């Protein structure tokens, strides 16, 4: 390997490691002696002198890391809340759960007319929905309800603050409640 190739290989090792790597380990991986690698590492450190990342020496090890002057930029990135993107399918499923909770996947599927596995699993992953128990029926299906994250996401203080369903919703609510009562019997 040429000197440039050794520098690139050492750079790749440090990047992949994410931690400090001892010069002996770098030299061994690149089949070089420690003295040669120390010289190459010094050149590599110089190459990173004016960049957002740097290579530092910690005793006999080297590590690739960000420069301290960019700490605030990185901190802002990871502190910024990431809004979950909810597709129409997820919103529809979430609305059913929110207004009918506790509800099983089977009941959601009955209302939607399609499988609810993916939607419910995604809502659980987003921490908008969680298991709240099991229905006392054959197979003991899981009951789902909304979480505190659901309230925060939509800006509700409590479930009672959710908008009322139109009157057609009252009829649907009554029918679903009758079905739930029938299933419980």
C-alpha distances in Å from residue 111, one per residue of 86, 104, 133, 175: 19, 11, 20, 11
Whether the domain at 3-71 and the domain at 88-184 fall into the same CATH topology: yes
Task: State which CATH number among 3.40.800.10, 1.10.10.10, 1.10.3720.10, 1.10.1760.20 fits the domain covering 88-184.
Answer: 1.10.10.10
* Amino acid 73: pLDDT: 87
**What pLDDT is stored for residue 156 in this prediction?**
83
pLDDT string in tens for the chain (185-residue length) = 898 999 999 999 999 998 899 999 999 999 999 999 999 999 999 998 889 999 998 889 999 999 989 988 888 887 766 667 888 999 999 999 999 899 999 999 998 889 999 999 999 999 999 999 998 888 899 999 999 888 888 888 888 888 886 665 566 667 767 766 766 65
Rounded Cα distance, 12 and 119, in Å: 40
Please, what is the Cα angle at 131 between 125 and 135, to 5 degrees? 145
Q: How far apart are CA 111 and CA 97, in angstroms?
A: 11
Inter-residue contact 101 to 144 (CB < 8 Å): yes
Domains of the chain by residue range: 3-71, 88-184
C-alpha distance from residue 8 to each of 11, 12, 26, 33, 114 (Å):
5, 6, 12, 17, 53
Q: Judge if pTM exceeds 0.85.
A: no
Q: What are phi and psi of 108, to 5 degrees?
A: -65, -45
Give the domain 3-71 fold: Arc Repressor Mutant, subunit A (1.10.10)
- Residue 2 CB burial class (10 angstroms; 0-12, 13-18, ≥19): exposed
């Amino acid at each position: 390997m040429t000197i440039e190739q050794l520098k690139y290989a050492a750079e790749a090792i440090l990047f992949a490691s994410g931690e400090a790597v001892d010069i002996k380990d770098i030299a061994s991986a690149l089949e070089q002696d420690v003295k040669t690698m120390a010289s190459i590492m010094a050149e590599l450190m110089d190459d990173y002198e004016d960049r957002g990342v740097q290579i530092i020496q910690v005793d006999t090890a080297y590590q690739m890391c960000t420069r301290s002057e960019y700490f605030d930029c990185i901190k802002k990135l990871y502190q910024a809340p990431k809004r979950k993107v909810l597709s129409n399918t997820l919103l529809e499923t979430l609305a059913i759960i929110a207004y009918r909770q506790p509800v099983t996947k089977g009941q959601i599927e009955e209302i939607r007319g399609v499988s609810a596995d993916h939607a419910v699993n995604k809502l659980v992953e987003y921490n908008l929905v969680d298991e709240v128990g099991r229905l006392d029926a054959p197979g003991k299906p899981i009951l789902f309800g909304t979480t505190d994250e659901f309230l925060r996401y939509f800006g509700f203080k409590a479930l009672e603050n959710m908008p009322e369903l139109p009157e057609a919703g009252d009829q649907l609510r009554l029918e679903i409640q009758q079905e739930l009562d029938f299933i419980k019997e």
